[in-house]
Structure 1
Amino acid sequence: MTYKEFLTYLEENFDGYEIFMQKAIDFQQEKNKNRPAKKRWDETKVEKAAYEMWKQGMQTLYNNLKTQIKSAISYKWTEYIVQHEVLENLQDTIADLNFIE
């Protein structure tokens, strides 16, 4: 499974994606409030920054899983993810997640 396929899989099959994105958007909006008025980002840029946070966090997870799975075959990845309750563990992590500047 490629990283892009992994992201797509998570975004389509993981409820925690929406929770992460909301927390990340809230964090980016708070950061945005502290910028000078002329340098404040529009909503699109805030959302893009939040998505970059998602991608960065999931890149770490992907790299960790890649060392365990050692296969490019997608169904091997999904089997491992289900068998090792990766999404459940990730859900718990995201529930406890707080972004602090």
Structure 2
Amino acid sequence: MTIRLQTCAGCGARQYPERDLCRVCLADELRLVDDHGRGRLIAETKLHRSLDPAFASELPLRIGTVALEAGVRLIAFLAPGAAPGDTVVLRAARRGEQTIFIAEKEQRE
């Protein structure tokens, strides 16, 4: 699955979430590029409460910090079987009005 990351035309830095300026060089020439969404799960925790009704029936939720190979870190929901240190791949899913990322342990062939 591919995800879209904002990329600076000036220095090539990638960032998420989207911003008006590059986080590295402050250039304003930014575009969205496809990324394979592969990275390493570096930490996890559980959410026991949510203010968003779309998540209420799924509590507690496992979330974690994913360090993408593209150099971006983001928070994602964790699929069963994903543990810190694992290589994961992100997929997008809709929850209520939001699009979220779910990190799934990479399946080796």
How high is the TM-score relative to the length of structure 1? Answer: 0.22
Larger strand share, 1 or 2? 2
Relative contact order, higher structure (CA 8 A, sep 6+): 1
Larger helix share, 1 or 2? 1
